[in-house]
Amino acid sequence: MIDFTPTADQELFVKTARDFGREVLGPAERTLDKMADPEEAFKSDLFWSTMQQAFDLGFHKMGLPESYGGLGLDAITAGLVWEELACWGAGFSASLMAGAVVPRLIAFMAPFNEELVNKYVIPFCENDDARLISAWGSSEPDIGSDGKNYTDKSVRHRTTARLRDGRWIIDGTKSNFISNGGIANSYIVFACVEPDQGICGSGAFLVPADAKGVTRGKCVDRLGLRALNQAAVYFDEVEVDESNLIFPPGDGYPMLHNAIITVGNLGTGYLALGTLRAAYEEALAYARERVQWGKPIAEHQLVAQKLFEAHTAMESMRTFLWKGSWLCASAFPGDLKTSLSAKIHATNLAAKHTAAMAQILGGYGLTRDYPVEKYVRDAPLLQVMDGSNDTLMVKAAALL
Ligand SMILES: Cc1cc2nc3c(=O)[nH]c(=O)nc-3n(C[C@H](O)[C@H](O)[C@H](O)COP(=O)(O)OP(=O)(O)OC[C@H]3O[C@@H](n4cnc5c(N)ncnc54)[C@H](O)[C@@H]3O)c2cc1C
């Protein structure tokens, strides 16, 4: 039943990701991370040329069906690639991953809206234009973890949508944390249509970034994942077609939200795995070179223990994520409890062990001369991305 041997195709995809990571993504991510003003990063040619090269190689459309021009990769193969890409740059990889959210959701809902497939999914796959990157907005200044509070009817998105003359009018603000918020070409926006139904009264709307009334905030200045643009998005009397309601409000909301989290949490887990692997590989190489007390520090037992524990953590993260991906490949979108648990496990271990890896470099691990300090800064954001680990744990525990 279990086979860990990669196929020839999987090896090829991973090699392509590794070559791209070593030559393009890694150097770009390190430069973007060091830019003092995050706005500067997303106006730079460096960011956009790197994104374009990622699109040219097809990483943006890994999860989209071949019938629409996507690569149609199964979840395990895509996971192998995400681990590799994240090892070179978790911030940029998070942007690339979030960037496919609009076409993926439309493709998921394709039987109900063929017109949007032709307008958004096929061009995304066939034009391979990095400017078509997208974003999704559920969280708001007052709605973070509450996005998962399906029972309390007084909790609802403050962003609203109402029908006027056969057009939806959208008003409201999405939080500072919208991945690709400041650079996306289109958005999935959760907006309240039926206030009596609480958060389940929200529908999912497709909103083009150039629609009149859409404005974006500045990229929020953060500890880590600095190659990921995160910004608020504002909607002021934004009008969209009636058919832009791609998922209606009602009892289906938890199903949709949970499906997004089931897939998204695995992605975040792979970002954590790649981040820890990068830190581990750097610490291992350093520990084999650095001599103190007459021998390479890797031979001091307490240093060896840190390396061993990080290695074991990665093995457990990887197998858990593969199981989640296998469930996703077997019956889309997979199993919620497994995805939540694998994400919590992976991101908590990444935060713990990246810090240990930095300690192996002693004082140098805390300087900007070595990349390891960046991994220590990136990892905690992954503990909050796609839901804070504490709230995901509450959700997963309820499914035991
Ligand atoms: C890297 C990153 C990318 C993101 N991308 C997106 C995106 O693309 N789109 C989007 O919509 N959002 C995005 N977010 C937002 C993210 O979903 C929220 O930050 C997250 O849901 C937490 O919301 P909050 O920050 O408002 O914290 P709050 O919900 O205010 O939580 C604050 C603290 O209270 C705890 N808490 C809250 N409720 C409970 C509870 N019931 N039980 C126990 N503890 C609780 C939390 O664990 C946390 O420690 C992103 C966030 C990050 C960090």
CA distance 348 to 85: 20
Cα 246 to Cα 317, 321, 355, distances in angstroms: 34, 29, 42
pLDDT of residue 323: 97
pLDDT of residue 119: 93
Q: What share of the chain is helix, strand, coil (3-state, %, to 5)?
A: 60, 15, 30
One-letter amino acid at 260 equals I
335 C-alpha to ligand 1 centroid (Å): 21
pLDDT of residue 111: 77
pLDDT of residue 32: 97
Give the strand pairing for 186-192 and 134-137.
Answer: parallel
Residues of the chain with pLDDT under 70: 1
pLDDT of residue 332: 87
Task: Answer for the pair 108, 68: CB distance below 8 angstroms, yes or no.
Answer: no
376 C-alpha to ligand 1 centroid (Å): 20
370 C-alpha to ligand 1 centroid (Å): 30
| Ligand 1 neighbours by CB, cut-off 6 Å | 98, 135-139, 144-145, 177-179, 225, 381, 384-385, 387-388, 390-391, 394
pLDDT (tens digit per residue) in 214-248: 999 999 999 999 999 999 999 999 999 999 999 99
Task: Answer for the pair 348, 271: CB distance below 8 angstroms, yes or no.
Answer: no
Task: Answer for the pair 147, 199: CB distance below 8 angstroms, yes or no.
Answer: yes
Q: DSSP readout, 3-43?
A: --PPPHHHHHHHHHHHHHIIIIIHHHHHHHHH-SSHHHHHH
pLDDT (tens digit per residue) in 343-362: 999 999 999 999 999 999 99
pLDDT of residue 211: 98
Q: Could you identify the residue written with the tokens 């990063």?
A: 41
Domains with residue ranges and CATH for the chain: 8-130 (1.10.540.10), 134-253 (2.40.110.10), 257-397 (1.20.140.10)
What 236-239 contacts at long range (C-beta under 8 Å, 24+ apart), as own/partner pairs, is 236/171, 237/169, 237/170, 237/171, 237/213, 238/169, 238/170, 238/171, 238/207, 238/211, 238/212, 238/213, 238/214, 239/164, 239/167, 239/168, 239/169, 239/170, 239/211, 239/212, 239/213
Which residue owns the Cα nearest ligand 1 atom 27?
144
115 C-alpha to ligand 1 centroid (Å): 34
Q: Which atom of ligand 1 is nearest to the CA of 388?
A: 47
Question: Which of 139, 149, 207 to mutate for ligand 1's pocket (most ligand atoms within 8 Å of CB)?
Answer: 139
pLDDT of residue 156: 96
pLDDT of residue 112: 79
388 C-alpha to ligand 1 centroid (Å): 5
Threshold 0.95, pTM exceeds: yes
Distance of CA 223 to the CA centre of its chain: 17
Give the other-Cβ count within 10 Å of 223's Cβ: 11
Q: Which atom of ligand 1 is nearest to the CA of 138?
A: 11
